[in-house]
Structure 1
């Protein structure tokens, strides 16, 4: 089961047509990432305390249908791929069963601002 984050669509997140402005899909993916890390037994503060700071290297979104003011969005976060220094997460933003947008974000493990391999136990948790 994917990690999930949910929120009502706020008026401030919409354009003049009442549709969610596209940048907010990335914000929601970022909100859901905290839940995704924790679901893998890696709460953000504990991961950073270990000296590993994941940073977003790339995000891409593919829009399918609009979320609107008054809707409640749910973001399903699932591991797409785990590599030596990176992990890609797929965030499916939906209203009910209708997919609105899919965001894929790639996180790179860094230490002292430079890419570094995931510790073995972290890679195992991310892949599991």
Structure 2
């Protein structure tokens, strides 16, 4: 994955089992996707100014290992598909316990966003500026 977003697991994100509570992975992925979108040259505020917003209509998470407090974490983001009104992204939460440990995949997430008008929230086409950025990133 060509884009990665660093995350620092906060103590408040750890549950009684000593691992990151599952809901926080979605928050991290939302932040990572927003940073990814900005890296494509079409930051979220620009899209809103153009009258378009995006909403998540599907999210799936597959767990391979747990993230603990103090782990080093990065989230890789890549585009899987751009449709007429939607886009599908794959995000991989990678972790390592310390600098001398290897990186390992912890959670793989798939997000499907639908583009909507920012005032009426009805479906609209994926903005050309976003579609072009995603196409370049995928190439």
Could you say whether these structures have the same fold, taking a TM-score greater than 0.5 normalized by the shorter chain as the test? yes
Q: Which residue of 2 aligns with 1:125?
A: 133
1:4 aligns with 2:10: no
Structure 1 residues not aligned, in runs of 5+: none
Q: Distance in 1 between matches of 2:2 and 2:110?
A: 14
- Following superposition of structure 1 onto structure 2, how do residues 11-90 of structure 1 map, counting pairs within 5 Å? 11-90=11-90
Structure 2 residues not aligned, in runs of 5+: 97-102
Q: Distance in 1 between matches of 2:33 and 2:128?
A: 21
TM-score by length of 2: 0.86
Q: Which 4+ residue blocks in structure 1 deviate beyond 3 angstroms?
A: none
**1:86-115 CA-partner distances (Å, limit 9, x unpaired):** 011111001142000011111111012001
TM-score by length of 1: 0.93
Aligned to 1:114, the other structure's residue is in SS state coil
Q: Distance in 1 between matches of 2:35 and 2:129?
A: 19
Q: Distance in 1 between matches of 2:7 and 2:57?
A: 25
Residues 77 and 92 of structure 2 are in contact (CA less than 8 Å); yes or no, is this contact kept in structure 1? yes
The one of 91, 95, 106 aligned to 2:112: 106
Residues 4 and 35 of structure 1 are in contact (CA less than 8 Å); yes or no, is this contact kept in structure 2? no
Shift of 1:56: 0.9
Shift of 1:2: 2.5
